[in-house]
Amino acid sequence: MKNIYNITKPIGILGIGSFGTVLANLIAERHSVVMYARKQSTVDNINVHKKHRDIEILPNVTATTDLGLVASQCDVIFPVLPSYAFRSVIKDLSHFLTSNHILIHGAKGFDVKVDYSQGPVELRPRDICTMSEVILEETPVYRVGCISGPNLAKEIAQKQPAGTVLASKFKEVLAIGTEILQCERFQIYGSNDIKGIELAGVFKNYIAIAAGASAALGYGENVKALLITKGISEMIAIGKALGVEPKSFLGLAGIGDLVATCSSPLSRNYSVGYRLAKGESIEQIISTMTEAAEGINTVKVIKYLSDTMHIQAPLVGIIYKVMYENHSLESGIKMLMRLNAGQDVSFY
């Protein structure tokens, strides 16, 4: 690939989860990488033993607990953090950032300004931030982007082909991000609709939970197809209420990611649904997960938002009842089949 920009500085990665780790290795095939981790033991394991989460780490990846070091060495930084930790880490990083930095995040969750942990609350769009909005709120950085798509970390670690959507309002971010990420087995597709791409990556999580539960109950491809197609319609309806046009939900970050996460046990959200159907409680599942499944909180956020704004989102309502109101999965499927069918396609 022809170099458009002379990227000589290391590339920063914030977060040492499975996707952050494989993204670091992917980038490290052609660039030096500096990873941020909170624990010194993790940093030592990466730097000394070149291993993390059973993944071999490439030689030109180094790790640090020092956010200031990441900001001073790296002009381009990829925050790949769970939503619950995103704002706090970005706020800490902001002390070391300037307007010359570029941040391209890989998170698929919401930052919610209202406490919804104790039960139903009124949620409006002003109460919810995407991760790019958090960056703009907390830092002097204005050149912001995101990556989102069907990017199962284990497959990327195995060097299987994949693609992702890189979204930003800035052509420079799209060009530099593509230069850093694209290789023979990882294709980059550009988009200017950063909010639409972010919402697509968030919304698909709750559909994946439903798909995992359906698979565990022994339902086949017909039900999966029903969940995916009705799910994408519901995602678009909610997105339109938030001011996003349908096109971003119909591409790789929407339908593409939805198909992958609704079909693979490698998806954390799919696994949550599968384990629910096998009799585990949400509390048991959360306590034994090594990484966050964003869909667990996404279900609550979208349910409360759709109720407040009177958005027709019956699928998320059914999933919420199963997860948080002790409805059986069998009753959830029955509710799905009793929904007023209406038009097949109604979101244009």
Cα separations in angstroms, 302 against 97, 207, 220: 32, 12, 27
Say what the pLDDT of residue 70 is.
97
Q: Which residues pair with 186 in a beta bridge?
A: 162, 183
CA dihedral 78, 28, 42, 65 (to 10 degrees): -50
Residues 237, 238, 241, 246, CA torsion sign: negative
| pLDDT > 90 in the chain, percent | 68
Beta carbons of 138 and 87 less than 8 angstroms apart: yes
pLDDT band at 341 (very low <50, low <70, confident <90, very high): low
3-state DSSP helix/strand/coil percent for the chain, to nearest 5? 50, 15, 35
Point out the residues that are catalytic: 204
Cα separations in angstroms, 282 against 54, 202, 218, 314: 27, 19, 20, 21
Q: Which residue has the higher pLDDT, 91 or 281?
A: 91
Say what the pLDDT of residue 343 is.
58
Say what the pLDDT of residue 314 is.
87
* Residue 49 DSSP code: I
pLDDT at 275 over 50: yes
Q: How far is C-alpha 102 from the geometric centre of its chain's CA atoms?
A: 19
CA distance 46 to 32: 14
Say what the pLDDT of residue 48 is.
95
pLDDT at 1 over 60: no
Beta carbons of 22 and 50 less than 8 angstroms apart: no
CA distance 101 to 75: 5
CA distance 179 to 174: 8
- Mean of per-residue pLDDT scores for the chain: 90
Helix axes 194-216, 131-138, angle to 10 degrees: 140
Model pLDDT for residues 68-87, shown as the tens digit of each residue: 999 999 999 999 999 999 99
pLDDT band at 340 (very low <50, low <70, confident <90, very high): low
Model pLDDT for residues 213-246, shown as the tens digit of each residue: 889 989 889 988 988 888 898 999 999 988 898 9
| pLDDT > 70 in the chain, percent | 95
Model pLDDT for residues 22-46, shown as the tens digit of each residue: 999 999 999 999 999 999 999 999 9
Domains of the chain, first to last: 11-192 (3.40.50.720), 196-338 (1.10.1040.10)
CA distance 227 to 255: 12
Model pLDDT for residues 178-209, shown as the tens digit of each residue: 999 999 999 999 999 999 999 999 999 999 99
Average of per-residue pLDDT across 303-331: 88
Say what the pLDDT of residue 326 is.
81
| Claim: this prediction has a pTM higher than 0.75 | yes
3-state secondary structure of 302: helix
pLDDT band at 8 (very low <50, low <70, confident <90, very high): confident
Model pLDDT for residues 129-157, shown as the tens digit of each residue: 999 999 999 999 999 999 999 999 999 99
